[in-house]
A and B are shown apart, each in its own frame.
Chain A
Amino acid sequence: MKSLFEPLRGTARWRRWFQHLMLACLCGPLLQAQAAMPAQERSSIVASICTDPGAYRGALDRIVQAVVGTSSADAAWGKTLLERLQAVAVICRAQGAPVFKVDHGVVDAATLEPVTEAVDELPMVPTLVLARLLKTSQAEIELFSPDVLVRRAAAQRMSQAYAQINEPLVRLALSKAADPEVIATLELALAKRSLASGSVEVRVEAIRAMGKAPSESTRSLLQKYQEDRPDMSAGERAALTQSLSQIDRALEVGKAASIFFSGLSYAGVLLITALGLSIVFGLLGVINLAHGEFIMIGAYATYVVEKWLQAHAPGWFDAYVFLAIPFAFLVCALIGIVLEMTIIRHLYKRPLETLLATWAVSIALIKLVQILFGSQNVEFITPSFLQGGVQLYPGFFVTWNRVFAIALGLVIFATAYALIRQTRFGLLIRATTQRRDTARALGIPAPSIDRLAFGLGSGLAGLAGVVLTQIASVNPSMGTSFVIDAFMVVVLGGAGSLVGTAVSSLVLGEVNQLIEPFHGAVAAKVAVLLLIVLIIQRRPQGLFALKTRG
């Protein structure tokens, strides 16, 4: 038995899971009360606030439980009560039940029914103590808000007011939290609370616990503790030294892993973007400066799908990301084919003019989208299955939206690779890319191949737009900044080479993310550029140049 349980107790992760399980058992009955609170209980809560300053804390905790709990009637009532208290609109009457002042008169504090009799007493003004407690309660409720920014702010408040937090409630919020920032802040709040404890054993335990849950914030907290208490006991000192070195070690590994991972996700998006560019460039020798705008159109197509589902099939809302994949691809491919037929076709012999023509298309598209959708960022609601993430290692948090970007990048690359390598269409593309004249002499309809390949490239850009909706902000000019990186991928990887595109996406994605956190975005861009110029000195056609004869 011992050997079976040893590893479970050994790791912090398992411990956390176990704690969640315990919490679910403890808090479950409390929060799963299905029936609404009886009116007497509501009155007694209001009455205790009215009469007994010593009972503030207990009453507020009960209100918070009501709001956080499952009964929507109770939640509405609790919110109203807190809001009325803060608005100085609760009247405690000498005779009869307490009432709320509202816009159109006076309502009963428990039932929220209008009160007919005249009320001439003054509302209760919250004392300083009550006001502070009210703020904390408000934050406790906001810990469960659907808006992640509100949750983060609430967690910050918890961390500031750590001495007065409601521990079971915070633990419950912690068990439900998915946002890494919220989790870190709340854990810090709990640890801070224990660090301030009067008992040495509790403090040592807290120090040890913090050592096992390493993060930047716990580290700075422990350091501050070390500075603030020069006279700590030997046990504490030993635990502190051990915890700090433990944290440092873990943080370094976590940081390296995080940088690698974010480079990987950036590489995934670069890959999808550059793939289309590379196919078109390799085949036609044409650089499409409007490629970035196809990304943008793909993102807006996703937006349209999202809004449509929200209006017509809210139950299927989360699926919008998947529905958007074919939709964005088709929309962009169609626009690409039309563009090829009307403009690009006439410019194949003059690649430099194509740059200008596609640039013209890009500014027109940007303006068109600005007129249709406005120039502000459009907001996306992340599907629930892409929200949050999982902490694989202390300081190394894998978010689902980035995993999605990497996975989609791989799937699309594999599909494109199969398409080019295994299908007849791919064979025709490769033949035309390598020897256009011979291919035509053998009866390959090069113009239609060009058109379809251009459509494919544009469609792939649309897919990159779908992925970007989950990890970047979407506005009409989003493509411009992004496409330059994609060009660099093509220049480095060699036009028309799928493997080259994949390798150089990975290299540029990693290099970018490796330099950016330490030296800023500019240094990253300049480094990438220098790297490319250096490599191109040796291999002017890119790393994986195709052998072609025009």
Chain B
Amino acid sequence: MLNSVSSLRSPSCTTSHIGLPVLLVCAALVLPLFNAVFPPGHPLHLSLFVVNLVGQIMCFALLALALDFVWGLLGVLSLGHGIFFGIGGYVMGFHLLNAAYADTRVLPDFMQFMGWSTFPAALQPFAALPVAVLLGLLLAVFVGGVVGLAAFRSRINGVYFSIITQALTYALMLLLFNNDLGLGGNNGLTGFTLLAGFHLAHESTQVALASLSAVVLAGVFVLLRGLAVSGFGQAMVAVRDDEARLRFLGFRTDRIKLAAWCLSAAVAALAGMLYVPQVGIINPGIVSPTLSVEIAVWVAIGGRGTLTGAVLGAVVLSCLKFWLSAEIPSAWPFVLAGITLLITVALQHGLWGGLQKLRIWKAAS
């Protein structure tokens, strides 16, 4: 039986866990190199489109990492990680609106439709990038903290927790769709021009963002991995495997859960912040219940509890999605459903778990 406790400790796997961040840092270096050094038309040239795609996929992988941290290690399945992704995305959107307004002195379209003549004071605190990033993380931790506190204190777990987080996602989406909220309603926030003084429309900015996403992903991976093999990580796994026993042993399991949960929320918000400048828009679709379930599907397909699996799942599924949605759009839901069913029913440990099994089996023979 291969479970994540053994995989955390088995030396054969540690190398590959160092391998992933190294791979990501390499990718971060290769992206600008191949984009700038090789001229367009050269077979090794990476177009802006591809670079942008890689950057987005890095953000999805970060999101999957956040979910795997709480689902795989803590056993808490959130169907609402889109909430934190959305919080990060919207906060970054606020900042970018500020920057665009300072640049062009033209109010965003939706504010003009609302009949506002000045930039709203409520959005002005987000004008400085470091402050905005900090506020975004704090907001995600705060929201996560409130939800987590309410849920973990009263020992809501298992599918109950999943369902409640899904309902929260749905409520937030409805809220954001509301035009009166002043966040652009259906159309969301768009019309961004500048980020930290760089023009978002410039190719170099987008390449830098994609590289940054890869580096952040690598950094967060190392951080979470370090936590996972620490005493805290072992406590998380213990909560997952037998929470009651751990509680009887005198551990405050609700605090362990809350801490891990809030950290996960912050990581998801970070993913949202990196994602928005790369796609140039944020709208309520980002907090649709469907996207939140899809994150869990990435993790399940990659293999949960290993962190590497989550990244693998997000990358494979996102690539497949981008490719299939372009080639045969109507086939995508069936393919996604098929893979999900296959993995959940037949391949419990996901792609990564399957690969590991194969390796152990080979080493033994």
A: residues with CB less than 8 A from B are 281, 285-287, 289, 343, 346-347, 350-357, 359-361, 363-364, 366-367, 371, 480-481, 484, 487-488, 491, 520-522, 525-526, 529, 532-533, 536-538, 540
Q: Which of B42-50, B157-165, B206-214, B351-359 contacts A (4 or more CB under 8 A)?
A: B157-165
B37 nearest CB across to chain A (Å): 42
Say yes or no: A287 contacts B159, CB within 8 Å. yes
**Is the beta-carbon distance between B337 and A360 smaller than 8 angstroms?**
yes
Give CA–CA (A367, B334) in the complex, Å.
8
Report B-chain residues with C-beta under 8 Å of the C-beta of A488.
Answer: 163, 167
- Once the chains are docked, how many angstroms separate the CA of A532 from the CA of B162? 14
Q: Which residue of A lies closest to B150 (CB)?
A: A533
Whole-angstrom distance between the Cβ of A347 and the nearest chain B Cβ: 7
A532 / chain B contacts, CB cutoff of 8 Å: 164
Residues 132-191 of B at the A interface (beta carbon under 8 Å): 150-151, 153-156, 158-160, 162-164, 166-168, 170-171, 174-175, 178
Q: How far is the CB of A478 from chain B (nearest CB, A)?
A: 14
A487 touches B163 (CB 8 A): yes
Q: Do A367 and B163 touch (CB < 8 A)? A: no
CA distance A13 to B44 in the complex (A): 83
Measured in the bound complex, the distance between the Cα atoms of B345 and A363 in whole Å is 17
Residues of chain B within 8 A (CB-CB) of A367 are 330, 333-334
What are the residues of chain B within 8 A of A289 when measuring CB–CB? Answer: 293
Nearest residue (CB) in A for B346 is A346
7 A-B contact pairs sorted by A residue (CB < 8 Å): A351-B159, A360-B337, A360-B340, A363-B333, A529-B164, A537-B154, A540-B156
- Closest CB in chain A relative to B149 CB, distance in Å: 10
Known: A352-B158, A526-B171, A526-B175. A347 touches B163 (CB 8 A): no
B334 touches A364 (CB 8 A): yes
Question: Which residue in A281, A359, A371 is a CB contact (below 8 Å) of B293?
Answer: A359
- A526 nearest CB neighbor, chain B only: B171
Asked if residues B341 and A361 are in contact (CB atoms below 8 Å), the reply is yes
Question: B residues within 8 A CB of A540?
Answer: 154-156, 160
Question: B160 contacts A484, CB within 8 Å?
Answer: no
Considering only CB atoms, which chain A residue lies closest to B75 in the complex? A352
Q: Which residue of A lies closest to B76 (CB)?
A: A352
Smallest Cβ-Cβ distance to B159: which chain A residue: A287
User: CB distance B168 to A529 under 8 Å?
Assistant: yes
Closest Cβ of chain A: how far from B264's Cβ, in Å?
16
| B77 interface residue (CB < 8 Å to A) | yes
Contacts of A484 on B, CB cut-off 8 Å? 166-167, 170, 289
Having A359-B293, A480-B289, A487-B167, one finds 11 other A-B pairs with CB under 8 Å, namely A352-B71, A357-B340, A360-B340, A360-B341, A484-B289, A522-B171, A522-B175, A537-B154, A538-B154, A540-B156, A540-B160
- Chain A residue numbers with a CB within 8 Å of B296 are 355-356
B195 contacts partner chain A, Cβ-Cβ < 8 Å: no
Residues in chain A near residue B174, CB distance under 8 A? 521-522, 525
**Contact assessment for B162 and A355 in the assembled complex, using a CB-CB cutoff below 8 Å:** yes
Contact B344 A537 (CB under 8 A): no
| Residues on A with beta carbons closer than 8 Å to the beta carbon of B300 | 353, 356
Contacts of A366 in B (CB 8 A): 333
Interchain CB contact (< 8 A) of A343 among B71, B156, B345: B345
Closest residue of B by beta carbon distance from A525: B171
* CB of B239 within 8 Å of the partner chain: no
A343 touches B341 (CB 8 A): yes
A351 to B163, CA, bound (A): 12
Q: For the complex, what is the distance from the CA of A104 to the CA of B136, rounded to whole Å?
A: 73
Residue of A nearest to B170 (CB): A484
Distance between B95 CB and nearest chain A CB, rounded to angstroms? 25
The smallest beta-carbon distance between B182 and chain A, in angstroms, is 14
- Do A355 and B79 have beta carbons less than 8 Å apart? yes
CB–CB B178/A522 < 8 A:
yes
Binary flags per residue of B324-351, CB closer than 8 Å to A gives 1, else 0: 0000001001101110110011001000
Output the least CB separation between A162 and chain B (Å). Answer: 36
| Cβ–Cβ < 8 Å partners of B171 in chain A | 522, 525-526, 529
**Residue B297 at the chain A interface, CB threshold 8 Å:** yes
Collect the chain B residues with CB atoms within 8 Å of residue A361's CB.
Answer: 337, 341
Contact between B333 and A359, CB atoms less than 8 A apart: no
Q: Within residues 20 to 76 of chain B, which ones have a CB less than 8 A from any CB in chain A?
A: 71
The reply to whether A364 and B333 form a contact with Cβ atoms under 8 Å apart is yes
Residues of A within 8 A of B163 (CB): 287, 487-488, 491
A287-B162, A364-B333, A371-B330 known; A357+B345 contact, CB < 8 A:
yes
Chain B residues near A536 (CB, 8 Å)?
Answer: 154, 156, 160, 164
Q: Which residues of B contact A351 (CB under 8 A)?
A: 158-159
A363, B294: Cα distance in complex, Å: 11
Among the listed A281, A347, A487, A526, which residue makes an inter-chain contact with B345, where contact means beta carbons less than 8 Å apart?
Answer: A347
A309: min CB distance to chain B, Å: 31
What is the CA–CA distance of A529 and B170 in the complex, to the nearest angstrom?
Answer: 11
Q: Which 8 pairs across A and B sit closest by C-beta, in order of nearness? A: A360-B340, A364-B337, A367-B333, A360-B337, A357-B344, A522-B174, A537-B154, A525-B171
The reply to whether A285 and B159 contact each other, CB–CB distance below 8 Å, is: yes
Nearest CB of chain B from residue A550's CB, rounded to whole Å: 13
Distance, CA A408 to CA B41, complexed state (A):
67
For B160, the closest partner residue in chain A by CB is A491
Q: How far is the CA of A21 from the CA of B162 in the complex (A)?
A: 60
Give the Cβ gap from A343 to chain B, nearest Cβ, in Å. Answer: 6
CB closest chain-B residue, reference A523: B175
- Evaluate contact between A356 and B293: CB separation under 8 angstroms: yes
> In the complex, what distance in Å separates the CA atom of A521 from the CA atom of B341?
34
- Give B257-292 interface residues, CB cut-off 8 Å to A: 289-290
Verify A537–B167 contact, CB threshold 8 A.
Answer: no
Instruction: Using CB atoms, name the residue of chain B closest to A368.
Output: B334
